Amino acid sequence: MDKLLLSVIIGLVAGVVDIIPMIVQKLPRYSTIAAFFYYFFISIVIVNIDLPHIPWWLEGGFISFALMIPMLIHIGHTDKKPLPIITANSIVIGTLVGIAGHFFS
């Protein structure tokens, strides 16, 4: 399978996995859409990048967390309560995306 197509499929799955709890909690639509697109595009980046000196299983969580930092700063300015949940989601889902990309490609 083409690596770009694989990363798009993984991104769709990761985005849906992240937004299901957001839909259940009836969070604002713009937040749900933003989270979906974040995990969709971050999956494409994670699957198609190779960072030197970082093990393959750690790359996804590292990249996902690093690219989430600006959003954490923005959200933390108004509300610090969701920061640990968002951080944990970013690291866990990013790691799972990296692992899926490694084993399926």
Number of domains in the chain: 1
CA distances for 1 relative to 83, 86, 101, 104, angstroms? 36, 31, 11, 9
Q: Rounded to an integer, what distance in angstroms lies between the CA atom of residue 66 and that of residue 75?
A: 15
CB 4 within 8 A of CB 58: no
The answer to whether 94 touches 59, Cβ cutoff 8 Å, is no
pTM assigned to the model: 0.92
Region of residue 77 (left: phi > 0; alpha: psi -120 to 50; beta: else): alpha
How much of the chain is helix, strand and coil, in % rounded to 5? 85, 0, 15
pLDDT digits over 16-65, tens only?
999 999 999 999 999 999 999 999 999 999 999 999 999 999 999 999 99
> Domain span at residue 41?
3-104
